[in-house]
Chains A and B, each alone.
Chain A
């Protein structure tokens, strides 16, 4: 399996521009997560989906952020308009539903490094 695939790997943009990050989860996984990583705050959960339906978006910082999952093999995270404080590495992760005695392991992509000037 190719693993979780994210694009772009690097994005440099100017303040006010729209940014779209993309994710292809592992086939057969029914959970998809978007995390943001910064030095100050570590890994923060932004939103997660189960079977393409958003379950918890309480981590989305503000209305400038939105996420969609139109089908089981594709998700986007959009920032509009972008601001310098959005600069971070954004990770997508996917997992299968956990068994009764286990919680599903999260498989992370390699991340999208965003720099907003």
Chain B
């Protein structure tokens, strides 16, 4: 059962543009929503995370938007740079659930010059 659905599978954005990746979840018990960034040959690394008590969280060029009623959240990368080219995973977990993360299937982002 795919509890976290992610789209698109791949994305090409021009340098300076906005990259948007969307995720939807099913389990209403989820209360922690991180995004992980993975470069080729490396393991995923935490990028930014949000809890459902806020609708938006911004860290530099990266913003998470959260819609609790729709059970959806998205990652926005402003002023996308070639160095942002990577695979991005959304994830969800339950506080007290042993740090167990359920990941989306990933989005391969390529930022072109």
Contact = CB atoms under 8 A, between A and B. Distances in A.
Interface stretch (A63-71, A80-88, A99-107): A99-107
Contact of A106 (B41, B99, B105, B106): B99
A93 interface: yes
B43 A93 contact: yes
A108 B45 contact: yes
B98 A50 contact: yes
B43 A95 contact: no
Nearest to B46: A105
A61 interface: no
Contacts of A31: 98-99
By size class, the interface of chain B is: 20 to 34
A43 B46 contact: no
A33 B43 CA distance: 13
Interface in B64-113: 89, 93, 95-96, 98-106
By size class, the interface of chain A is: 20 to 34
Nearest to A105: B46
A45 B101 contact: yes
B104 A42 contact: yes
B46 A55 contact: no
B32 interface: yes
B104 A103 contact: no
B98 A43 contact: no
A56 interface: yes
Contacts of B61: none
A91 B100 contact: no
A25 interface: no
B50 to A, nearest CB: 11
B102 A103 contact: no
B43 A48 contact: no
B101 to A, nearest CB: 6
Interface of B: 6, 32, 34, 36, 41-46, 49, 89, 93, 95-96, 98-106
Q: Shortest 8 CB-CB distances between A and B: which pairs?
A: A108-B43, A42-B105, A43-B103, A103-B32, A104-B99, A95-B99, A105-B46, A42-B106
